[in-house]
Every structure is written in C-alpha cells, then in structure tokens.
Amino acid sequence: MFQARVRKWSGYILQPVAQAIASVGISANTLTITGLVFGIGAGVCIALGYLKLAGVLILIGGSFDMIDGAVARASNKNTQFGALLDSVVDRYSEGIIFIGLAIYCSKASMIDGLALTCLGLISSFLVSYVRARAEGLQIECKVGLMQRPERVILLSIAVLFRDFSIVNISILILVLWVMVIFSHITVIQRVFFALKQLPIVKAR
C-alpha cells in the first residue's frame, strides 16, 4: 500500500519531466545506458574510497532508471527490447556497485561488511530473478518490501553516511543488514505470491 502511494505521487512528478525529455528527442534507451555509466562510476568510486561522490552517482544513476520507462511511454516507444535492456542494465549497474563495495570492505578489513555485501548481491539478483521466472509463467510478480528503488536509496545512504554510527555500529553495516534481511524477505514473498497464482495440479 505504501509503495503504491509513493509510486502514484512520484508519477505526478516524473510524468511532466518524462514528457519534456521525450519532446527533445532523447530516447529511453539512451537514459538507460546513461544510468549504467553512472552506476559504473559509482562502483569505481566506492572501490577507490570516494564514498561521498559514489553516493551522489548512485542517486543520479537511480534517477535515470526511474525516468527511462516514463520517457518510453511518453514517446510511445515502450518496446519489449527496451524493457529487456533496462533489466539487463539494472543488473550490471547494481552488480558493479556491489563489487565496488566488496573491494572497499576488503581493503578496509571489514569482514562483516564484505559478507553482507556478498549476501546483498545474491539477494538483489534473486529478487529480480524470481520476478522474471514468475513472469515467464505468465504471473505478474511485483510484490515485495525491498525492490530496486529501495535498494538504490539504501545503497546511497550506506556510502554517503559511512563515517557515522549508531550505538557504535557503522551506518554502512546497519544499512547492509536492513537491505539483506528485507531483500531475502522479498524473495520469499515473491515465491509464495507466485505459488498462490499457479494452478493446483491434482494427483490422480
């Protein structure tokens, strides 16, 4: 319910922006690739220790990911290839950011951060995989607490506020814990949601 309301209100903001972008001839695929460039930049910056810059790049890249679909609809070019490209690029972008974070944690001897980063990478890919697998079975599966927009926001918070702590626990570690736990919950939510939609096969 909360996510639906957020998307509804964000649509009021994104729609006029998308129409303005479409009117000047910028394609949705161009925005998708541009978002990937920012994602790669963010991953590299994290690996090199430029966390504040990386956090900004993650947010900028995420904004391109949010707007590309709206631009495709505004320009009447909402194609299946565009949707495929967007999904592939999202996985590359998120994977590179996680790899950058893993390198950073390894260099900083943050074993807990490294383990959580690996778990976060696995869970983020599983969230997307379960949806894709369900849609292959003709089930629309967009449920879940921790989808890509939420992960983008949390990743940016994790790196932007790396130097802060709560009860002597780094914000980075706390955010990674939240993301990992709720991402795996989302995987389970989607699996059971798909299960309920599947036809029941009765044994003979």
Q: Is residue 167 scored above 80 in pLDDT?
A: no
- The residue with greater pLDDT, 101 or 197, is 101
Q: Which residue has the tokens 């949806």?
A: 131
| Among the listed residues 68, 72, 44, the one whose alpha carbon sits nearest the alpha carbon of residue 58 | 44
User: Is this structure's pTM higher than 0.85?
Assistant: yes
pLDDT digits (tens, 9 = 90+) for 175-204: 999 999 999 999 999 999 999 888 754 444
Q: For 5-19, 23-37, 46-60, 62-76, which range has the lowest pLDDT when averaged over its residues?
A: 5-19
Residue 5: per-residue pLDDT: 54
**What token pair was written down for 10?**
């964000």
Let me know the angle formed at the C-alpha of 24 by 4 and 55, rounded to the nearest 5 degrees.
50
**What token pair was written down for 171?**
């914000």
**What token pair was written down for 75?**
């320009």
- pLDDT band for 128, please (50, 70, 90 cuts): very high
Q: For 67-76, 93-102, 162-171, which range has the lowest pLDDT when averaged over its residues?
A: 162-171
Q: Is residue 94 scored above 80 in pLDDT?
A: yes
How far apart CA 32 and CA 89 sit, in angstroms, is 7
Q: Is residue 28 scored above 60 in pLDDT?
A: yes
How far apart CA 198 and CA 140 sit, in angstroms, is 11
Is-contact 161 53, C-beta < 8 A?
no
Average pLDDT over the chain reads 86
How far apart CA 27 and CA 69 sit, in angstroms, is 10
- The residue with greater pLDDT, 139 or 163, is 139
Residue 201: per-residue pLDDT: 44
Residue 70: per-residue pLDDT: 84
Strands 165-166 and 169-170 come out as antiparallel
Which run of H or E residues covers position 106? helix 80-107
Neighbouring C-beta atoms of residue 91, cutoff 10 Å: 15
Residue 2: per-residue pLDDT: 43
- pLDDT band for 17, please (50, 70, 90 cuts): confident
- pLDDT band for 61, please (50, 70, 90 cuts): very high
Fold classification of 2-197 is Four Helix Bundle (Hemerythrin (Met), subunit A) (1.20.120)
Residue 202: per-residue pLDDT: 43
